[in-house]
Every structure is written in C-alpha cells, then in structure tokens.
Amino acid sequence: MHPTDLPQYALDGCMRRRGRLHAIEEINPAKTALVVIDMQNVFMQEGAPAEVPVAREIVPNINKLAAATRDAGGRVVWVQMTHSEQVKEDWSVFYSAISRPERASKMLEWLSRDSDGQSLWPNLDAEDEDLYVEKSRYSAFVQGSSDIDEVLKNEGIDTVLIVGTLTNVCCESSARDAMMLDYKVLLASDANAAPTDEEHTATLGAIAQVFGDVYSTDELVSLLQKGVAGASVQTAAE
C-alpha cells in the first residue's frame, strides 16, 4: 500500500489557502457517488501491459467504500477505459507519441470493448444496481471522453469520491475535471494506486490543496455515516 500522509508542503498550502486542512467537511450521501476509475484487468493482472501491482492491494478498500456508499443511499459508478480503432485515430497523440508502437498495439487490444483486459477485476464487488460508464481518455469528465457528467447529474449527484488507478493519471485527471465542472471532489488516499509512492503522494498533495479534498477510506465511511445521521435528525425535526 502507498503512504497516505500528505507532504508538508501540501499541509502548508491548505492552511495558506483556506485556514484549515479540509475543504469539504461534510457530504450529503444521497448526492454522492463513488467513482471507481479503471479497476480493469489491463491494470490489475500480473504481466498485463499496464499492470499496477498496488492496484490489487486497494480492492478491499474500494469494496468497503462501495458498500458504505450504497448503504448511505449514494451511487457507485464503475468507469472502464475503452478504446477502439476510432479512438486510436481521434487520440493519435496517445498512440503515436506517448506510447511506443508495440505498447500502443497491446493497449488497443486489451482495452477493446468486451475483451478480457477491458473487463473489471473479478474481486471487485460490482452489483447490477450500480452504474457503468466507458471512457476513452484519461479523464472521465473531459469533453468527449464519456457521458459520466450527464449520468451523475441525472442522479442528482454533486459530490464524487474518486478511487482506482492510476492515482496520478486517470484518477487525478478525473478529479481535476470533476472539480472544474463544479463537483465536490474527495480522493481516497488508500484506495488509489500508482506505479510509485512518489507519484501517488504528489497527486494527494495537488488534490488536497487545489482541487478538492483527501481522506482515508475509513474517514470517508465516517463522513457517509455522519451524513445519513444528519439527514435523519433533520427529517425528524421536520
């Protein structure tokens, strides 16, 4: 598992910007979605072209958050990177410049719809009642990547809990763009995975200071439970 402590520069930055550590101190569970990014075989299987070993370690925390989100009345969204020959053409920079040819070819094969690589990791507790979204870019929220913004708005969602892999690529990109679309963004420090501790920690620092907030899995579960309790008190008072 990656380290989960925020670097000192990030702690200092939070205090300098807002005078307190956390930007988001309470959430409404009914308006909250757990957004699970790219927990697919292409990133999870040993020997897969984009394997992130730590991603296998965060599965229990993701499952814990999924259960807690459902119990609190929120939604769980499973986001799957999905590519095609059309994506290869439309996102040519990724295929021709960012990736070497042999790796790009493997990624297209593994990310094709209904392939084993594109499938969710089998140890995830995905349920039929959950929402499923395909994306074609690092960020799920960038224009043209997916319909997640429409899906979430139709569900009345204004808060997203971001988990998955890679912390510093698809998860960070999605978190940044979600905040730009006016979602409250909370990143789970121990339910995201990157190739290295340094890359993971850098993302925690960036999100905490500027794009939302960072909590541990247990802290997010507590926020969800407190949100349910607060709603119950308000209903009783009415």
Tell me: pLDDT of 236 over 50.
Answer: no
For residue 172, give the nearest of 209, 147, 125 by alpha carbon. 209
Domains defined for the chain, CATH in brackets:
8-237 (3.40.50.850)
Q: What CA–CA distance (Å, rounded) separates 142 from 174? A: 8
Kindly report, residue by residue over 58-80, the tens digit of the pLDDT. Answer: 999 999 999 999 999 999 999 99
pTM over 0.85, yes/no: yes
Bridge partner residues of 188 (DSSP): 215
Q: Who contacts 65 (Cβ-Cβ below 8 Å, separation ≥6)?
A: 34, 161, 163, 188, 191, 217, 220, 221
CA distance 94 to 219: 36
Mean pLDDT of 183-212: 98
> Sheet holding 184-193: strands in order across?
131-135, 75-81, 32-37, 159-165, 184-193, 213-215
C-alpha 114, offset from chain centre: 21
pLDDT confidence of 178, banded at 50, 70, 90? Answer: very high
Per the model's pLDDT, the better-predicted residue between 79 and 101 turns out to be 79
Mean pLDDT of 205-222: 98
